[in-house]
Amino acid sequence: MRVVITGGTGLIGRAVARDLGAAGHDAVILTRNLDKTGSLPPGVRAMQWDGKTGQGWASLLDGDTAILHLAGEGIADGRWTEERKRRIRDSRVDSGKAVLDAIRKAKDRPRALLQASAVGYYGPCGDELVTEEHHAGGDFLADVCKEWEDSTAEAETLGVRRPLLRTGIVLSREGGALPKMALPYRLGIGAPLGAGRQWFPWIHMDDEVGAIRFLLEREDARGPFNLTTPEPVTNREFGRLLGRALRRPNPLQALGLGVPTPVFRIALGEMAEALLHGQRAVPRHLQELGYTFRHPEAAGALRDLTA
């Protein structure tokens, strides 16, 4: 099977492409700049696109092709100015329109379109258990996720199967959130964010890739799927387990201290709210289809990632 990956040079895209190539599939990464793709693993190739149309790559699509749409500017790459918020939104919606454009131009419809999204779709939910039936939130990230998902909704009317990937915080030793979170704990000054009672909807990269492969191959997989562990933990508990996995003393957390909420809000602005209010999201639909997690518990996952 050929899998065309938008956003394929990102952390998740590269991991999925590497996995698909190793399994003998034809993984095609779409990128705006071929010079930035670097060396690619066996079975993976790159093709240029403009991120706004299907120009030049619609010919890749046929009945044995799937699209994994991950493209979008990084949420946590900088302070949320109004200009940056516009770029976060537009990068997702415009690339979604490009995917639809390619599907319309294709001689044969692709077999599936896996549309990226995030558990931010649900907004702040307190301690409520959040499954895929939960309503959408009303904050900035929730609005972005709704528009991101809606940008490719027409694919379903064109007969293309469309699972929605509402991903949590992906933990990887190669980048993303974990190395940034681990640094203060390695230095012995790790502490939870705010009170630390907010839920931390995480997933190990092995399971992020595994779940995506699972949904690619399951012809009955449609609609929203929470790509999160079945065992979420609070921010405070995650920090405690991270310090233990790193075998570092954690005096601040032992004293019940955390990063003060006002300081955190001053430092990050509006983006702080996304980190101070998590979701207790669980992967009900994924488990109902029969996916088995390799790393369901935070303690074991962190031991694996910090070994």
Residue 273 has pLDDT above 50, yes or no: yes
Residue 264 has pLDDT above 80, yes or no: no
Q: What is the pLDDT of residue 36?
A: 78
**Three-class SS state of 79:** coil
Q: What is the pLDDT of residue 253?
A: 63
What's the average model confidence in pLDDT over 137-164?
A: 96
Tell me the C-alpha distance between 17 and 15, whole Å: 6
Q: What is the pLDDT of residue 254?
A: 63
Of the two residues 256 and 54, the one the predictor is more confident about is 54
* Token digits of residue 113: 């379109």
Which residues lie below 8 Å from residue 68, measured CB to CB, with a gap of 6+? Answer: 3, 4, 5, 6, 8, 13, 16, 114, 116, 212, 216
Q: At residue 249, what are phi and psi to the nearest 5 degrees?
A: -65, 150
pLDDT digits (tens, 9 = 90+) for 60-86: 999 999 999 999 988 777 777 899 899
Band (pLDDT 50/70/90 cuts) for residue 145 is very high
pLDDT digits (tens, 9 = 90+) for 207-239: 999 999 999 999 999 999 999 999 999 989 998
pTM, full prediction = 0.93
Burial class, 247, CB count within 10 angstroms (exposed 0-12 / middle 13-18 / buried 19+): exposed
What CATH homologous superfamily does 2-168+204-228+281-293 map to?
NAD(P)-binding Rossmann-like Domain (3.40.50.720)
Domain boundaries, the chain: 2-168+204-228+281-293
pLDDT digits (tens, 9 = 90+) for 277-295: 789 999 999 999 999 999 9
Burial class, 102, CB count within 10 angstroms (exposed 0-12 / middle 13-18 / buried 19+): buried
Parallel, antiparallel, or unpaired for β 223-227 and 202-204?
Answer: unpaired
Band (pLDDT 50/70/90 cuts) for residue 3 is very high
Band (pLDDT 50/70/90 cuts) for residue 272 is low
Q: What is the pLDDT of residue 227?
A: 98
Q: Cα–chain-centroid distance for residue 153?
A: 19
Tell me the C-alpha distance between 131 and 279, whole Å: 10
* Angle at CA of residue 95, ends 94 and 101, nearest 5°: 95
What's the average model confidence in pLDDT over 178-200?
A: 83
In order, the DSSP letters of 176-241 are: EHHHHHHHHHHTT----BTTS-SEE-EEEHHHHHHHHHHHHH-TT--EEEEES-SS-EEHHHHHHH
pLDDT digits (tens, 9 = 90+) for 240-260: 899 999 988 776 666 565 665
